[in-house]
């Protein structure tokens, strides 16, 4: 059975080290620009180059996210950035911008191009089209079902990557405009303010039908129960979300999913409950199997709280103004984080001291009755949740040692009279041979022993290597200076490191930014008025007003249809007539010309000439440009109308 890649997030160097040490096959990360998590720590350019070297030496792939929409005036800077990464052997770019996908497949033939989940790929025809552009892998939209994945893998030979754990978006992948509309921070530019995590009140007309609560806050995805189904469906890579999460979360997620995949492939048992409990302790907003496994809407949203919920460890049985007595159902240690939750209370802090009948203790066990210091009286019967498990954090912190993962090397050194000292080194894949300039002479006063040779060659110091086997082949009565042994050891380590760092080619062709700008220059944008008509009479009247083009919802009857507006999610091809012009909002097979597509809609996210050129080359002659998109009005609390773009920030 094929290997399943575990792909881990790295929003910081600590998370990257933890992911690699805990067994990730690949990591994904971003620089300071062009990544969809602009508020993660991310990496400076020189740090990215060091990260690539660090990961490659340890046999781990590095994917850099270029998954924001890019404007024309940013293309030059972007290509300087991606040229630099490609020339230093980055393994893949994760790209969402349609035009950049095609540009990168042509410009970087030795770098794999992965289509980001931000591209909202959820249909087999979209996958077919994207494959024609030369991409290696599709990261499917998070609303894609397991049945769709099976169909894609059956029909299209391409790598498929899915999110298996972490935060979910409540909106369509790459299509949510909520943050940009409400606060001017666009998710498609990497700046999502997560307004879906805020509390809202639900009204039906003027009637309030819910209290103020977290109506749009999605639970965290967790699929460790369904790993076998994902493998059977043909998934190639399982992706963990979390570039904004702490390193211990990344470590535990990698450990748990790596263990789950191994258990399936090796047909070994696994204690899933234990793994799920550990995953809950590092972070959870409550878990859901998500759209991936057709969870109903009431199992997607957690309206209780939008942040970490922890695990229940007890219940309040008594309380005074400054103390609370708890019956524990799980262990609690000094410095653990906790919250006490009731219908009227949601307070917490870290444990500063634990009082029992035996006095002050540093650790209490399940079944113990303890007293904690609190700031106010708590309600009897309240749940006590552990939000930081200090013991688990300590266990996971061992994976943060940058030198924890050592690569095993085999040494064979041959020492013969009147010949150079020759050292052969291999890591199992890369054979290296180094010979000294020094010629071995007979010993005059002091003979070099095999033990001395072994000692000098074993001094690997602060390198990521260890010696698995070392064989010394030498005759007696010979002398080799220590300096010579040290020199060939250092040179061999440099060569083996260089071999592990490099990939087949730097992949940078000679296309200049100016050439890139001219690529596909026949594309352009048409200014046109856009409104949805509400009745046939209006559609009859508009041409008399000089309006030549009208785009309407495809739910109108064929006789009312002047043009057909394709919605974003496509499950079936519900427009078959070629009589109507079509506005496309996804990359399904209409781009292949089976229906005479005329216009690309706003959800195609066209923000540069490369995307426009690609569409133009596939039978699209109009683009609903973002800067020409209709404007709406909003009434603010100061009773003034403010004119705002529907997609501020784009």
Residue with the larger pLDDT of the pair 576 and 493: 493
Average pLDDT over residues 313-340: 95
* Number of other residues whose CB lies within 10 A of the CB of residue 423: 23
Length of the chain: 650
* Average pLDDT of the chain to the nearest whole number: 83
pLDDT exceeds 90 at position 536:
no
pLDDT exceeds 70 at position 427:
yes
Q: How confident is the model at residue 618 (pLDDT cuts 50, 70, 90)?
A: confident
Q: Choose among 256, 298, 297, 287: nearest CA to 396.
A: 256
Average pLDDT over residues 615-619: 80
Q: Choose among 92, 34, 18: nearest CA to 61.
A: 92
Parallel, antiparallel or unpaired: strands 354-356 and 359-361? antiparallel
Residues 6+ apart with CB under 8 A from 314: 326, 327, 328, 329, 330, 332, 383, 384
The 3-class secondary structure across 297-315, one letter per residue, is HHHCECCCCCCCCCEEEEE
Which of 223-227, 443-447, 521-525 has the least mean pLDDT? Answer: 521-525
Greatest alpha-carbon span in the chain: 111
Distance CA 508, CA 74 (A): 19
Judged by DSSP in three states, 330 sits in: coil
**DSSP letters of 597-645?**
EEEE-GGG---SHHHHHHHHTTT--EE--GGGS-EEEEE-TTS-EEEEE
* Per-residue pLDDT reduced to its tens digit, 83-99: 999 999 999 999 998 88
- CA dihedral for 261, 267, 270, 273, sign (positive or negative): positive
Distance CA 15, CA 26 (A): 13
pLDDT exceeds 50 at position 494:
yes
Distance CA 318, CA 109 (A): 67
pTM assigned to the model? 0.85
pLDDT exceeds 90 at position 423:
yes
* Per-residue pLDDT reduced to its tens digit, 145-163: 999 999 999 999 999 999 9
Q: How confident is the model at residue 35 (pLDDT cuts 50, 70, 90)?
A: low
Residue with the larger pLDDT of the pair 207 and 635: 207
* Per-residue pLDDT reduced to its tens digit, 353-363: 999 998 999 99
pLDDT exceeds 90 at position 365:
yes
Average pLDDT over residues 416-438: 95
Question: Could you tell me if 415 and 440 are in contact, meaning their C-beta atoms sit under 8 angstroms apart?
Answer: yes
Average pLDDT over residues 104-120: 93
What are the beta bridge partners of residue 514?
A: none
H or E element that contains 562: none
Q: Torsion angle, CA of 507/513/519/522, rounded to 10 degrees? A: 160
Judged by DSSP in three states, 414 sits in: strand
Residue recorded with tokens 């394709």:
566
Question: Could you tell me if 453 and 467 are in contact, meaning their C-beta atoms sit under 8 angstroms apart?
Answer: no
Distance CA 63, CA 135 (A): 14
* Per-residue pLDDT reduced to its tens digit, 59-85: 999 999 998 888 888 898 999 999 999
Distance CA 398, CA 70 (A): 40
Name the percent of the chain lying above pLDDT 70: 81
* Per-residue pLDDT reduced to its tens digit, 172-186: 887 777 777 777 777
């Amino acid at each position: 059975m094929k290997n399943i890649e575990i792909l881990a997030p790295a929003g910081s160097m600590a998370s990257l080290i933890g992911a690699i040490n805990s067994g990730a096959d690949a990591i994904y990360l971003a620089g300071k620009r062009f990544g969809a998590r602009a508020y993660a720590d991310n990496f400076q350019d020189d740090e990215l180059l060091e990260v690539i070297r660090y990961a490659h030496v340890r046999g781990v792939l590095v994917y850099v996210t270029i998954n924001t929409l890019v404007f024309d005036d940013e293309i030059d800077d972007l290509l300087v950035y991606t040229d630099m990464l490609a020339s230093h052997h980055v393994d893949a770019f994760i790209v969402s911008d349609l035009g950049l996908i095609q540009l990168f497949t042509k410009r970087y033939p030795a770098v794999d191009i992965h289509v980001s989940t931000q591209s909202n790929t959820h249909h087999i025809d979209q996958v077919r089209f994207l494959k024609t552009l030369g991409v290696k892998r599709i990261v499917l939209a998070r609303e894609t079902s397991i049945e769709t994945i099976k169909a894609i893998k059956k029909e299209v030979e391409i790598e498929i990557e899915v999110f298996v754990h972490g935060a979910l978006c409540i909106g369509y992948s790459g299509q949510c405009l909520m943050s940009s509309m409400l606060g001017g921070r666009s998710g498609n530019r990497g700046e999502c303010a997560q307004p879906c995590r805020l509390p809202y009140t639900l009204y039906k007309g003027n009637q309030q039908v819910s209290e103020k609560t977290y109506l749009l806050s999605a639970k965290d995805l967790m699929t460790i129960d369904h790993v076998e189904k994902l493998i059977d469906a043909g998934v190639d890579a399982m992706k963990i979300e979390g570039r904004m999460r702490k390193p211990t979360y990344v470590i535990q997620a990698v450990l748990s999913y790596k263990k789950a995949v191994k258990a399936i492939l090796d047909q070994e048992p696994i204690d899933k409950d234990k793994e799920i409990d550990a995953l809950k302790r590092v972070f959870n907003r409550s878990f859901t199997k998500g759209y991936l496994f057709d969870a109903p809407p009431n199992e997607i949203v957690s309206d209780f709280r939008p942040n970490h919920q922890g695990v229940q460890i007890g219940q309040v049985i008594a309380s005074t103004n400054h103390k609370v007595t708890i019956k524990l159902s799980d262990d609690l240690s000094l410095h653990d984080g906790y919250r006490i939750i009731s219908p009227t209370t949601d307070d917490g802090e870290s444990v500063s001291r634990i009082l029992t009948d035996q006095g002050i203790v540093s650790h209490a066990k399940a079944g113990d009755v303890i007293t904690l210091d609190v700031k106010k009286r708590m309600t009897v019967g309240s749940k006590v949740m552990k939000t930081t498990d200090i013991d688990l954090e300590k266990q996971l912190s061992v994976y943060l040692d940058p030198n924890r993962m050592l690569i095993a090397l085999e040494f064979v050194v041959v020492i013969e009279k009147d010949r150079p000292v020759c050292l052969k080194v291999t890591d199992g894949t890369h054979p290296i041979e180094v010979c000294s300039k020094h010629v071995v002479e007979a010993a005059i006063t002091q003979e070099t022993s095999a033990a001395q040779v072994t000692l000098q060659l074993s001094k690997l110091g602060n390198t990521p290597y260890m010696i698995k086997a070392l064989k010394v082949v030498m005759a007696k009565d010979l002398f080799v200076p220590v300096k010579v042994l040290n020199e060939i050891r250092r040179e061999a380590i440099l060569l083996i490191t260089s071999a592990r760092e490099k990939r087949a080619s730097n992949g940078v062709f000679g296309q200049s930014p100016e050439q890139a700008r001219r690529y596909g220059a026949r594309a352009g944008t048409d200014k046109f008025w856009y409104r949805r008509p509400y009745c046939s009479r209006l559609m009859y009247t508009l041409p008399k007003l000089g309006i030549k083009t009208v785009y309407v919802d495809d739910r109108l009857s064929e006789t009312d249809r002047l043009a057909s507006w394709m919605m974003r999610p496509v499950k079936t091809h519900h427009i078959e007539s070629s009589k109507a012009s079509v506005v496309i909002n996804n990359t399904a097979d209409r781009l292949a010309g089976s229906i005479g597509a005329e216009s690309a809609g706003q959800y195609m996210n066209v923000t540069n000439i490369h995307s426009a050129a690609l569409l133009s080359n596939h039978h699209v002659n109009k683009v609903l440009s973002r800067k020409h998109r209709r404007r709406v009005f909003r009434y603010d609390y100061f009773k003034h109308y403010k004119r705002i773009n529907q997609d501020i920030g784009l």
